[in-house]
Amino acid sequence: MIRRFTGIVLLTLAAGLAFAADRVAKPVIAIDKPGRCVEDTALMRRDHMKLLMHQRDRTMREGVRTKPHSLAGCVDCHASTKTGSVLGPQGFCQSCHDYASVRLDCFECHAAKRGMAAALGAKR
């Protein structure tokens, strides 16, 4: 029931974005994998960077690798089913960051594709 409802909301959102696209370039917030985010959507929209930074500090300093706010987890859910990636012009993370003029260095080390190792550095 909740899944179905989310699906309808997202379809509506997607249609709205597609409609607006010929006037202004809007971010593509397509979520291929239905379900729920690790936190409330409004909070994620506002504070996802803080969650990720905090998680990184904890992993690097204390060796904590918990699931909830892991970057690999974000990628697993948010990678496109077409490209398998969160990057690219239609990619979940990149499209919104392009729109907001935000630049990240995270994916120079971290895999942007679903199902890959968390960070390349860890495998070398």
Nearer to ligand HEC, 23 or 54 (CB): 54
Q: What are phi and psi of 3, to 5 degrees?
A: -55, -45
Binding mask 21-40 for ligand HEC (x = CB under 6 A): ------x-x-x--xxxxx--
17 contacts 25 by C-beta, under 8 angstroms:
no
CB of 91 to ligand HEC, least distance (A): 8
Distance CA 121, CA 33 (A): 28
Nearer to ligand HEC, 92 or 114 (CB): 92
CB of 120 to ligand HEC, least distance (A): 8
Bridge partners of 36?
none
